[in-house]
Amino acid sequence: MTSTETAPTETALAATHAPVTDYPVDDAVLDIRDLHVVPLAEPGREILAGIDLTVRKGEVHAIMGRNGSGKTTLAYALMGHPGYRVTHGEVIWKGLDILKLSPDKRARLGLFLAFQYPTAIPGLSVASFLRTALNARRRGLADGDGEIDPSDMTRGGIKMGEFRTLIRETMALLKLDDAFAARYVNEGFSGGEKKRLEMLQMAMLKPEFAILDETDSGLDIDALQSVGNSVNALRHSDEGKDIGFLVITHYPRILKHVPADLVHIMIDGRIVKSGGPELADEIERDGYDAVRDEVAATSV
């Protein structure tokens, strides 16, 4: 088997080990270095066993792997899920080791996670939720004294009219009914509606780095197309062209709608192979077992 030392040898493009100071602080490069993660409830079981990955601005990287390979744990660890503990490694974004930051601060620095299973928040409307989130995003890392205080309309929060226009336009783009905004967040939503709400949030919050966790799972072809359109519309917009994407998926089909620049195969908490888009076709043709066998054969 590969070890953390040998794993990234042929993935040089993806796993550039550059010191953080080499990047200008405002450069949108996400750099994951030797990331080890355990679940809080079971600290003896390492789910991520040394992930190295660098995503530069405007790039789309796909992480492919079977269920249980650690894909979602990677997404959660990047966003700071309280159920996981990072035992080793760092994640550098905008010159900061974001592992030291709370999830909301990571989001306000421009990170975004589209959940595989978005959580319902009963009694809270999509509009209220989004408005609060948008104000937080605009405030950035400034604390309460910042120019924008989301709880205070008079202190620079987005004006109601501006917000209404923005949400209506974005919903129209995603072919979402106006009534969608008044519904409670993810409560009683179908699988497709949940994924479209994730896309609505992404489109409105305008992240600089977005992780899509199995956004294709459970979607019919139309919904998948719509997700693809959302991502591509964002990527091809002026403000979205620099967004880095980490597309986590089990199946290659989403990559037909959101073409990846680089594909990484994850097995047992490690990236065992990286390559161009053709790697996804290889997985589709030969399956994950073939990659596993190949990696086992080439490891020292």
Bridge partners (DSSP) listed for residue 131: none
CA nearest 246: which of 137, 102, 114, 107?
114
Nearer to another protein, 52 or 198 (CB): 198
Residues forming the site for another protein (CB under 8 A): 79-83, 102-104, 106-108, 111-113, 115, 118-124, 128-129, 132-133, 136-137, 139, 150-151, 184, 201, 205
Report DSSP letters for 119-153, one per residue.
Answer: PPEEEEEHHHHHHHHHHHHHHTT--TTSS--TT-G
Nearer to another protein, 15 or 134 (CB): 134
As measured in angstroms, the least distance from the Cβ of 126 to another protein is: 11
As measured in angstroms, the least distance from the Cβ of 133 to another protein is: 4
As measured in angstroms, the least distance from the Cβ of 90 to another protein is: 20
Nearer to another protein, 191 or 275 (CB): 191
Nearer to another protein, 20 or 121 (CB): 121
Say how many Å lie between the first and final Cα of the chain, rounded: 7
Nearer to another protein, 129 or 163 (CB): 129
Strand bridging mode 270-275 / 96-97: unpaired
Report the alpha-carbon distance of residue 285 to residue 290 in Å, rounded: 10
CA nearest 96: which of 152, 160, 157, 26?
26
As measured in angstroms, the least distance from the Cβ of 132 to another protein is: 6
As measured in angstroms, the least distance from the Cβ of 193 to another protein is: 16
